């Protein structure tokens, strides 16, 4: 299943700022943190809730807990996903965190080099959120998700991106039909260098200079 959020004016406004080439890296990073947090809220909306009884200082009442919110593993793909993760941990404060360094080579092969992998053990109760702002050809995420598989099978496997090209989404769907894709917006396509159009440029460079 693919979720995108064109109908959310607030998310679209933040994304507009990220797309604007005149946005500096301070504002760009802040935007990514915000999107991490608010996309996190969107993920929570899809989690099961359980009714519980609690007591206010005045009387007993009913409340809820979102149990799965506590069983989250966030896998951060260096480097542009770092501010995104910062936002995500604001809503998934119990999350265990995996860090993966993966980068894509040049066209036409777009080979993925993965040289640092630290991922916690994954249990069947876990929701794994793989965060990378840009899903272009999808190769980076596919390589990372193949690696994640070695650490266990989660209850849910979620891909969290800011922008995606249809090409990348289709490839992920094909290789990981069980993955749920949350992306702020789906863009038109890719250029010959494998950049998303209209996109926002290179998220790592824009965030970190």
Report residue 110: phi and psi, to 5°: 50, 45
Cα–Cα distance measured from residue 115 to residue 156, given in angstroms and rounded to the nearest whole number: 26
What backbone phi and psi angles, to 5 degrees, belong to 94?
-90, 0
What does the per-residue mask of binding to ligand HSX show for 77-116, with x meaning CB under 6 A? x--x-----------------------x-----x------
Q: Which is nearer to ligand HSX, 68 or 168 (CB)?
A: 168
Nearest to 90 by CA among 47, 42, 37, 137: 37
- Reduce the DSSP state of residue 109 to 3 states and report it: coil
Please report whether residue 203 would count as binding ligand HSX according to CB under 6 A: yes
Backbone angles phi, psi at 122, to 5 degrees: -110, 130
| Rounded Cα–Cα distance for residues 95 and 34 (Å) | 18
Closest distance to ligand HSX from the beta carbon of 185 (Å): 15
**CA–CA separation, 74 and 88 (whole Å):** 8
Pick from 133, 154, 160, 176 the residue near ligand HSX by CB under 6 A.
133
Angle at 85 between CA 136 and CA 99, to 5 degrees: 80
Write down the least CB distance from residue 164 to ligand HSX, Å: 8
| Residue closer to ligand HSX (CB basis): 68 or 129 | 129
- Could you tell me the smallest distance in angstroms from the CB atom of residue 81 to ligand HSX? 7
Among 168, 179, 187, 206, binds ligand HSX (CB under 6 A): 168
- Shortest distance, position 112 Cβ to ligand HSX, whole Å: 7
Residues that bind ligand HSX (CB under 6 A): 77, 80, 104, 110, 132-140, 168, 194, 203-204
């Amino acid at each position: 299943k693919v979720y995108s959020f064109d109908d959310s004016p607030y998310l679209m406004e933040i994304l507009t700022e990220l797309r604007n080439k005149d946005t500096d890296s301070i504002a760009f990073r802040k935007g990514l943190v915000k999107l991490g947090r608010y996309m996190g809220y969107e993920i929570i909306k899809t989690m099961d809730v359980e009714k519980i009884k609690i007591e206010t200082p005045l009387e007993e009442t009913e409340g809820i807990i979102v149990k799965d919110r506590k069983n989250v593993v966030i896998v951060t793909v260096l480097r542009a996903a770092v501010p995104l993760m910062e936002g995500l941990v604001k809503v998934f404060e119990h999350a265990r965190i995996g860090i993966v360094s993966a980068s894509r080579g040049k066209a036409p092969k777009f080979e993925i080099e993965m040289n640092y992998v630290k991922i916690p053990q994954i249990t069947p109760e876990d929701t794994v959120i793989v965060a990378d702002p840009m899903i272009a050809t999808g190769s980076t995420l596919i390589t990372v998700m193949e690696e994640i598989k070695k650490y266990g099978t989660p209850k849910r496997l979620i891909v969290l991106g800011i922008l995606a090209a249809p090409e990348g989404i289709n490839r992920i769907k094909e290789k990981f039909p069980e993955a749920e894709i949350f992306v702020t917006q789906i863009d038109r396509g890719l250029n010959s260098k494998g950049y998303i159009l209209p996109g926002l440029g290179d998220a790592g460079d824009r965030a970190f200079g």
